[in-house]
């Protein structure tokens, strides 16, 4: 199963994509996580990406396309993958279409998680993340068992540097201008399924599983 998760920042792409990937037993590929790791390791790509991420702008297509292209060529993607946060521009979508053709792969479905700016802003400003294993929490809606400690690995949780009100506005603007048009791109291909991301996490998950495996629940 080869899936894409689209949606504005904070709509719940990461939360749902990770869980769906684990359920399907395929890799969860988050370009945001890959970029943050590259920034932390100060790789040449990470150094180039740092300022874009910090100001809420998309990193240039030529940089992210290389990173993503190399990732889906890896053997573990042959049985499927869940893309979280890629593609985000028409250039990225075209690159992905070409890459999948080269690899003789077919995309199964695109899940578009919709939520208003007010909802996503509240979620992002309350988010806490684990810099070690990538687990994500919210101070009100999905708090860890021990305050500021990751349930999965026991590391201290942090607030992402781009999770401020000002940067969220910039991220949302980028989404509206560059990523939202991809909903139509995939609708025309007959692959788009829209999900209400303002429901609680379990309901959103059930609705997604009903779309990807309609007979399982
Ligand atoms: P990225 O890390 O992908 O960030 P984003 O798209 O802005 O998305 P978020 O991670 O903020 O939100 P999400 O939708 O995954 O929501 P989550 O599940 O975490 O990208 C960061 C940056 O990297 C970009 O700004 C850009 O600079 C760069 N980048 C990445 N990919 C790129 C690309 N392809 N091209 C160019 N640049 C790229 O949930 C958010 C919070 O809400 C959590 O606390 C969660 O617990 C909570 N929550 C989730 N669902 C619910 C719910 N249903 N109810 C209540 N709370 C919920």
Smallest CA-to-CA distance from 16 within 214, 210, 216 is with 210
Higher pLDDT, 216 or 161: 161
75-90 CB burial, b ≥16 within 10 A, e <16: eebeebbbbbbbbbbe
Q: Quick one: pLDDT band at residue 135, thresholds 50, 70, 90?
A: confident
* pLDDT, position 60: 97
Q: How confident is the model at residue 217 (pLDDT cuts 50, 70, 90)?
A: low
Q: pLDDT by residue (tens digit) across 73-97?
A: 999 999 999 999 999 999 999 999 9
What is the pLDDT confidence band of residue 141, given thresholds at 50, 70 and 90? confident
Q: Give the mean pLDDT of 190-213.
A: 96
pLDDT band at 131, cuts 50/70/90?
confident
- Which residues are the active-site residues? 13, 88, 127, 160, 171
Core vs surface per residue 118-134: b (16+ CB within 10 A) or e: ebbbbbbebbbbbeeeb
Instruction: Report the predicted TM-score, pTM, of the whole model to 2 decimal places.
Output: 0.94
Q: Whose CA is closest to atom 17 on ligand 1? A: 12
Average pLDDT, the chain: 95
Tell me the pLDDT tens digit for each residue of 42-61.
999 999 999 999 999 999 99
Q: Which two tokens stand for residue 22?
A: 């684990």
> If you average pLDDT over residues 133-152, what whole number do you get?
91
pLDDT band per the 50, 70, 90 thresholds, residue 136: confident
Atom of ligand 1 at shortest distance to CA of 88?
Answer: 34
Ordered by where they begin, the domains of the chain are 2-117+191-212 (3.40.50.300)
Using an 8 Å Cβ cutoff, are 15 and 120 in contact?
no
Split at pLDDT 50, 70, 90, the class of 172 is very high
How many A from CA of 29 to the centre of ligand 1? 13
Measured from the CB, is residue 134 less than 6 Å from ligand 1? no
The two three-digit tokens of residue 8, written as one number:
């504005």
Per-residue model confidence as pLDDT tens digits over 143-170: 999 999 999 999 999 998 899 999 999 9
């Amino acid at each position: 199963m080869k899936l894409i998760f689209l949606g504005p920042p904070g709509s719940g792409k990461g939360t749902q994509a990770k869980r769906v990937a684990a359920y399907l037993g395929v890799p969860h590929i988050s370009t945001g996580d890959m970029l943050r790791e590259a920034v932390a390791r100060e790789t040449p790509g990470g150094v180039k990406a740092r300022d874009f991420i910090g100001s809420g702008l998309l990193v240039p297509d030529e940089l992210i396309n290389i990173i993503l292209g190399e990732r889906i060529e890896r053997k573990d993607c042959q049985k499927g993958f869940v893309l979280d946060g890629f593609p985000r521009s028409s250039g990225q979508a075209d690159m992905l279409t070409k890459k999948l053709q080269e690899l003789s792969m077919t995309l199964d479905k695109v899940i578009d998680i919709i939520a208003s700016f007010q909802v996503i802003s509240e979620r992002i400003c309350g988010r806490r993340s684990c810099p070690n294993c990538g687990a994500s929490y919210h101070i009100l809606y999905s708090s860890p068992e021990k305050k500021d400690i990751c349930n999965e690995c026991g590391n201290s949780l942090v607030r992402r540097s781009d999770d401020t009100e000002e940067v969220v506005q910039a991220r949302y603007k980028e989404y509206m201008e560059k990523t939202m048009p991809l909903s139509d791109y995939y609708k025309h291909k007959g692959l788009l399924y829209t999900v209400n991301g303002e429901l609680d996490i379990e309901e959103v998950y059930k609705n997604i599983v009903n779309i990807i495996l309609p007979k399982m629940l």
